[in-house]
Amino acid sequence: MPKKNINLLIPQEPDSPRVKKLKKILPVICAVLSGLFLISFFGILIFNNSNVATFARQKQEIDILEKKISDQKDIEGVYSLSNSDARVISKIMENKNTFINLLSEVQKLSSSDIEISTVNVNGKGDVTFTVTASNAQTLDILVNRLAEYEIQKKFSKMEAKGIVRDKLAKYLLSVTLIADKSLLK
Protein backbone atom coordinates (compact mmCIF):
# COMPACT_ATOMS: atom_id res chain seq x y z
CA MET A 1 0.00 0.00 0.00
CA PRO A 2 1.45 3.36 -0.85
CA LYS A 3 2.09 5.67 2.11
CA LYS A 4 -0.48 8.30 2.70
CA ASN A 5 0.46 11.51 4.39
CA ILE A 6 -2.13 13.10 6.52
CA ASN A 7 -1.54 16.79 6.89
CA LEU A 8 -2.53 17.60 10.43
CA LEU A 9 -1.74 21.31 10.05
CA ILE A 10 -4.72 23.43 9.39
CA PRO A 11 -3.81 25.58 6.45
CA GLN A 12 -3.76 29.23 7.40
CA GLU A 13 -6.03 31.52 5.57
CA PRO A 14 -3.97 34.04 3.66
CA ASP A 15 -3.95 37.57 5.16
CA SER A 16 -6.08 40.19 3.49
CA PRO A 17 -4.24 43.08 1.80
CA ARG A 18 -5.34 45.45 4.58
CA VAL A 19 -3.89 43.21 7.27
CA LYS A 20 -0.66 42.83 5.31
CA LYS A 21 -0.42 46.62 5.08
CA LEU A 22 -1.07 47.06 8.79
CA LYS A 23 1.58 44.48 9.62
CA LYS A 24 4.08 46.57 7.73
CA ILE A 25 2.99 50.07 8.78
CA LEU A 26 2.14 49.73 12.47
CA PRO A 27 5.56 48.52 13.64
CA VAL A 28 7.18 51.42 11.81
CA ILE A 29 4.79 53.93 13.41
CA CYS A 30 5.36 52.41 16.82
CA ALA A 31 9.14 52.56 16.45
CA VAL A 32 9.07 56.15 15.21
CA LEU A 33 6.71 57.34 17.96
CA SER A 34 8.76 55.56 20.61
CA GLY A 35 11.93 57.13 19.30
CA LEU A 36 10.39 60.61 19.20
CA PHE A 37 8.98 60.19 22.67
CA LEU A 38 12.33 59.15 24.13
CA ILE A 39 14.24 61.95 22.41
CA SER A 40 11.67 64.60 23.46
CA PHE A 41 11.40 63.36 26.99
CA PHE A 42 15.11 63.28 27.68
CA GLY A 43 15.62 66.54 25.80
CA ILE A 44 13.06 68.31 27.98
CA LEU A 45 14.53 66.80 31.14
CA ILE A 46 17.98 68.12 30.23
CA PHE A 47 16.51 71.55 29.28
CA ASN A 48 14.56 71.83 32.54
CA ASN A 49 17.51 70.82 34.68
CA SER A 50 19.87 73.29 33.08
CA ASN A 51 17.31 76.11 33.27
CA VAL A 52 16.55 75.41 36.90
CA ALA A 53 20.23 75.98 37.64
CA THR A 54 20.25 79.24 35.64
CA PHE A 55 16.96 80.26 37.26
CA ALA A 56 18.39 79.76 40.74
CA ARG A 57 21.53 81.73 39.89
CA GLN A 58 19.53 84.63 38.44
CA LYS A 59 17.18 84.63 41.43
CA GLN A 60 20.17 84.90 43.74
CA GLU A 61 21.62 87.78 41.72
CA ILE A 62 18.25 89.55 41.81
CA ASP A 63 17.96 89.13 45.58
CA ILE A 64 21.43 90.64 46.05
CA LEU A 65 20.69 93.58 43.77
CA GLU A 66 17.28 94.24 45.35
CA LYS A 67 18.88 94.32 48.79
CA LYS A 68 21.57 96.69 47.53
CA ILE A 69 19.00 99.01 45.93
CA SER A 70 16.77 98.92 49.03
CA ASP A 71 19.73 100.02 51.13
CA GLN A 72 20.04 103.09 48.86
CA LYS A 73 16.38 104.06 49.03
CA ASP A 74 17.25 107.36 50.71
CA ILE A 75 19.34 108.41 47.74
CA GLU A 76 16.69 107.16 45.35
CA GLY A 77 14.07 109.10 47.29
CA VAL A 78 15.83 112.47 47.19
CA TYR A 79 16.72 111.94 43.54
CA SER A 80 13.17 111.03 42.50
CA LEU A 81 11.46 113.73 44.53
CA SER A 82 13.79 116.51 43.47
CA ASN A 83 13.40 115.45 39.83
CA SER A 84 9.63 115.36 40.25
CA ASP A 85 9.58 118.94 41.53
CA ALA A 86 12.01 120.06 38.83
CA ARG A 87 9.77 118.58 36.13
CA VAL A 88 6.78 120.50 37.47
CA ILE A 89 8.83 123.70 37.59
CA SER A 90 9.94 123.07 34.02
CA LYS A 91 6.30 122.79 32.91
CA ILE A 92 5.40 126.01 34.73
CA MET A 93 8.36 127.89 33.27
CA GLU A 94 7.41 126.89 29.70
CA ASN A 95 4.44 129.21 29.86
CA LYS A 96 5.85 131.99 31.98
CA ASN A 97 5.74 135.55 30.73
CA THR A 98 8.02 138.33 31.89
CA PHE A 99 6.89 141.14 29.59
CA ILE A 100 10.31 142.76 30.06
CA ASN A 101 11.15 142.80 26.34
CA LEU A 102 7.72 144.18 25.53
CA LEU A 103 8.02 146.93 28.11
CA SER A 104 11.39 148.00 26.81
CA GLU A 105 10.06 148.11 23.22
CA VAL A 106 7.09 150.22 24.32
CA GLN A 107 9.40 152.49 26.31
CA LYS A 108 11.52 153.04 23.18
CA LEU A 109 8.50 154.78 21.67
CA SER A 110 8.63 157.47 24.30
CA SER A 111 10.75 160.57 23.99
CA SER A 112 10.67 164.16 25.18
CA ASP A 113 7.66 164.78 22.95
CA ILE A 114 5.97 161.40 23.26
CA GLU A 115 4.90 160.46 26.73
CA ILE A 116 3.59 157.00 27.50
CA SER A 117 1.59 157.11 30.69
CA THR A 118 0.03 153.67 31.12
CA VAL A 119 0.67 150.25 29.64
CA ASN A 120 -1.57 147.21 30.05
CA VAL A 121 -0.54 143.77 28.86
CA ASN A 122 -2.16 140.38 29.21
CA GLY A 123 -0.77 136.89 28.71
CA LYS A 124 -2.12 136.69 25.16
CA GLY A 125 -0.09 139.71 24.05
CA ASP A 126 -2.94 142.23 23.96
CA VAL A 127 -1.36 145.59 24.72
CA THR A 128 -3.02 148.91 25.44
CA PHE A 129 -1.06 152.02 26.20
CA THR A 130 -1.98 155.66 26.49
CA VAL A 131 0.19 158.21 24.78
CA THR A 132 0.48 161.95 24.84
CA ALA A 133 2.08 163.50 21.78
CA SER A 134 3.08 167.14 22.07
CA ASN A 135 2.03 168.07 18.52
CA ALA A 136 0.86 166.70 15.19
CA GLN A 137 4.41 166.13 13.89
CA THR A 138 5.25 164.12 17.00
CA LEU A 139 2.08 162.12 16.47
CA ASP A 140 3.25 161.41 12.94
CA ILE A 141 6.64 160.24 14.27
CA LEU A 142 4.83 157.92 16.69
CA VAL A 143 2.75 156.46 13.88
CA ASN A 144 5.88 155.88 11.78
CA ARG A 145 7.63 154.15 14.67
CA LEU A 146 4.64 151.91 15.19
CA ALA A 147 4.61 151.14 11.46
CA GLU A 148 8.26 150.06 11.73
CA TYR A 149 7.35 147.69 14.52
CA GLU A 150 4.62 146.28 12.32
CA ILE A 151 7.11 145.69 9.50
CA GLN A 152 9.44 143.94 11.96
CA LYS A 153 6.42 141.82 13.00
CA LYS A 154 6.83 142.82 16.62
CA PHE A 155 3.40 144.45 16.75
CA SER A 156 0.24 143.79 14.77
CA LYS A 157 -3.42 144.86 14.59
CA MET A 158 -2.62 148.33 15.85
CA GLU A 159 -5.49 150.68 16.49
CA ALA A 160 -5.55 154.19 17.81
CA LYS A 161 -8.60 155.10 19.85
CA GLY A 162 -9.99 158.08 21.63
CA ILE A 163 -7.76 160.67 20.00
CA VAL A 164 -8.33 163.99 21.72
CA ARG A 165 -6.57 167.29 21.48
CA ASP A 166 -6.24 169.18 24.70
CA LYS A 167 -6.00 172.90 25.38
CA LEU A 168 -2.21 172.80 25.00
CA ALA A 169 -2.58 171.27 21.49
CA LYS A 170 -1.28 167.96 22.75
CA TYR A 171 -2.75 164.78 21.36
CA LEU A 172 -3.95 162.16 23.80
CA LEU A 173 -4.78 158.74 22.47
CA SER A 174 -4.78 155.13 23.43
CA VAL A 175 -3.20 152.53 21.22
CA THR A 176 -4.17 148.88 21.21
CA LEU A 177 -2.08 146.27 19.49
CA ILE A 178 -1.09 142.65 19.67
CA ALA A 179 2.53 141.96 20.54
CA ASP A 180 4.47 139.07 19.13
CA LYS A 181 4.75 136.15 21.61
CA SER A 182 8.53 136.43 21.62
CA LEU A 183 8.23 139.81 23.32
CA LEU A 184 6.29 138.29 26.21
CA LYS A 185 9.15 136.02 27.29
Q: Which residues, numbered 102-131, are part of the site for other proteins (CB under 8 A)?
A: 103-104, 107, 110, 115-123
Instruction: Give every CB contact of residue 117 below 8 A, 6+ residues apart in sequence.
Output: 129, 130, 131, 132
Rounded to the nearest whole angstrom, what is the least distance from the CB of residue 105 to other proteins in the complex? 12
Of 76 and 147, which has the nearer Cβ to other proteins?
A: 76
Q: Which of 5, 7, 12, 16 touches other proteins by CB under 8 A?
A: 12
Q: Which of 1, 2, 17, 91 touches other proteins by CB under 8 A?
A: 91
Rounded to the nearest whole angstrom, what is the least distance from the CB of residue 68 to other proteins in the complex? 6
Q: Which of 1, 6, 92, 168 touches other proteins by CB under 8 A?
A: 92
Note whether 75 binds other proteins by CB under 8 A: yes
Instruction: Give the footprint of other proteins on residues 137-166 (CB under 8 A).
Output: none
Note whether 182 binds other proteins by CB under 8 A: no
Q: Which stretch binds other proteins (CB under 8 A): 66-74, 136-144, 162-170, 174-182?
A: 66-74
Note whether 9 binds other proteins by CB under 8 A: no
User: Interior CA angle at 61 toward 56 and 63, to 5°?
Assistant: 95
Instruction: Give every CB contact of residue 175 below 8 A, 6+ residues apart in sequence.
Output: 127, 128, 129, 130, 131, 146, 158, 159, 160, 161
Of 37 and 147, which has the nearer Cβ to other proteins?
A: 37
Note whether 178 binds other proteins by CB under 8 A: no
The rounded distance, in Å, linking the Cα atoms of 3 and 8 is 15
Determine phi and psi for 42, rounding to 5 degrees: -70, -35
Note whether 16 binds other proteins by CB under 8 A: no
The rounded distance, in Å, linking the Cα atoms of 82 and 85 is 5
Instruction: Give the footprint of other proteins on residues 20-39 (CB under 8 A).
Output: 22-23, 26-27, 29-30, 33-34, 37
